[in-house]
Chains A and B, each alone.
Chain A
Amino acid sequence: MAQVVVVTSGKGGVGKTTSSAAFATGLAQAGKKTVVIDFDVGLRNLDLIMGVERRVVFDIVNVISGEAKLNQALIRDKRVDTLSILPASQTRDKDALTKEGVATIIEELSKDFDFILCDSPAGIEKGAMLALYFADQAVVVTNPEVSSVRDSDRILGVLQSKSKRAEEKKDPVKEHLLVTRYDPARVERGEMLKLEDVQDILRIPLLGVIPESESVLKASNTGNPVILDGESQAGQAYKDAVARFLGEDRPMRFIEAEKRGFFSRLFGGRAA
């Protein structure tokens, strides 16, 4: 049986799609058969971040409405062969997604994959609800910023009351905190919530901290998930997080501000 993992946050623009792409790629690199589903119907973007936008023929809505078979809609990644992508529809709206339709897709994918990652849209409307409904585990993506933390707390409440596991009174969805866009220098100056503050408030196990990094934009420009950029701090931080997700014990990195020497201050060098 596959593990269904939702990448969620409540708030938009915090790094769900970036994290979904990185996690899916990382899990597949670790040899796990992985599929990542874009639930953001109407605002498809995972295809771009994964670099498969030109290979999209069918999407999740086509599969649900019976216009295409699931394996026709799945896109096999060319970099990691254990990875597939199921894109969202760009032309339809969220109402085209149905609980029964999604259930059928997940059931079918469960036969062939180890991990089914669900990239949730923002909000707590239908698309977001369906993305999290079937989850066994949740990666809650949070920025160190008041509205993001509040929305994450809200989403945790939803996971605990509205997910399939909650409704069927099974073991609760396993929750993981992924803090992204963390800027240790701003934290040090007292301008940004500390990691400990976010943990203190949300009280769920920490899976990883992804630093604010220019390499994320570079990665999305070229359609290569940032985890493939082994040079970048964000890429390395995602690698660590995936390893922890698979049970490895790794220390947190990139959570302290770099001590900048005279010359780097003089020339304004920035973190990769």
Chain B
Amino acid sequence: MSWLSFFRGKQEEVPPTASAAKERLQIVLAHERISRKGEDFLPKLQKEIVELIAKHVAIEAERVNVSLERGGDMSTLAIAVEIPGPEPARRAS
């Protein structure tokens, strides 16, 4: 604390973090309350999409990238699957 801030009766400015806490809580709890009722369809959706793709092409588990971002108004579920291309042409020796 500097002398000046002492006389002003103020601590050093710290960026307030309480509002970030509130926002994060509101979002995570909105989702947890839904999943508590067993209504969170996102994990199920993810599983079914991957299964559907696997029906058509052979995919390896480690070639599937799933990212889920839960938001307040909107959530995004991104599934990236590396689908193997045609057999590489054999090089003439």
CB within 8 Å of B: which residues of A?
Answer: 145-146, 149-150, 153-154, 157, 161, 187, 189-194, 197, 200-201, 260, 262, 265
From B11, B18, B33, B36, contact of A193 by CB (8 A): B18
Question: Is there a chain A Cβ closer than 8 Å to B76's Cβ?
Answer: no
Q: Contact check, B26 vs A187: say whether CB atoms are below 8 A apart.
A: no
Check B14 against A153 for contact (C-beta < 8 Å): no
B residues in contact (CB < 8 Å) with A: 6, 9, 11, 14-19, 21-22, 24-26, 28-29, 32-33, 36
Instruction: Give which listed residue, A150, A189, A194, A260, contacts B14 with CB less than 8 A.
Output: A189
Query: How far, in Å, is B1 (CB) from chain A's closest CB?
Result: 10
Minimum distance in angstroms from A240 CB to a CB of chain B: 25
Of A154, A190, A260, the residue contacting B18 (CB under 8 A) is: A190
Report yes or no: A153 in contact with B16, Cβ–Cβ below 8 A: no
With A149-B25, A153-B29, A201-B29 already in contact, the answer to whether A265 and B6 are too (CB < 8 A) is yes
Known: A265-B6, A265-B9. A150 touches B28 (CB 8 A): yes
Q: Could you tell me the distance between the alpha carbons of A200 and B29 in the complex, rounded to whole angstroms?
A: 12
Given contacts A157-B36, A260-B9, contact A191 B29 (CB under 8 A): no
CB of A197 to closest CB in B, whole Å: 5
Q: Give the CA-CA distance A145 to B24 in the complex, in Å.
A: 12
Q: Which of B9, B11, B25, B28 has the most CB of A within 10 A?
A: B25
**Closest Cβ of chain A: how far from B86's Cβ, in Å?**
50
A191 to B14, CA, bound (A): 8
Most buried by B among A145, A146, A262: A146
Chain B nearest CB, measured from A173 CB (Å): 16
Which residues of the partner chain A approach B6 to less than 8 Å between Cβ atoms?
265
Partner of A187, one of B18, B25, B29: B18
Main secondary structure of the interface of B (DSSP, over half): helix
Judge whether A193 and B21 touch: CB under 8 Å: yes
Known contacts A260-B9, A265-B6; is-contact A157 B33 (Cβ 8 Å)? yes
Determine how close the nearest CB of chain A comes to the CB of B30; give it in whole angstroms. Answer: 10
B21 touching A146, Cβ below 8 Å = yes
In the complex, what residues of A have CB within 8 A of residue B17's CB? 190-191
What's the least CB distance linking B7 to chain A, in Å?
Answer: 8
Q: In this complex, what residue of B is CB-closest to A265?
A: B9
A201 CA to B29 CA, complexed, in Å: 8
**Cross-interface CB contact of B32 among A153, A200, A265, cutoff 8 Å:** A153
CB pair B16–A189 under 8 Å, yes or no, is: yes
B16 adjacent to A191 (CB under 8 Å): yes
Partner of B24, one of A146, A153, A161, A191: A146
CB pair B28 A197 closer than 8 Å: no
A191 pairs with B33, CB closer than 8 A? no
> Is the CB–CB distance between B26 and A201 below 8 Å?
yes
**For residue A187, which residues in chain B have a CB less than 8 angstroms away from its CB?**
18
Given contacts A146-B25, A201-B25, contact A192 B32 (CB under 8 A): no
CA distance A127 to B11 in the complex (A): 43
Contacts of A200 in B (CB 8 A): 22
Contacts of B16 in A (CB 8 A): 189-191
Q: In the assembled complex, which residues on chain B have CB atoms less than 8 Å from the CB atom of A150? A: 25, 28-29, 32
Chain A residue numbers with a CB within 8 Å of B14 are: 189-191
Q: Is the CB of A197 within 8 A of B33?
A: no
User: Min CB distance, A208 to chain B, in Å?
Assistant: 21
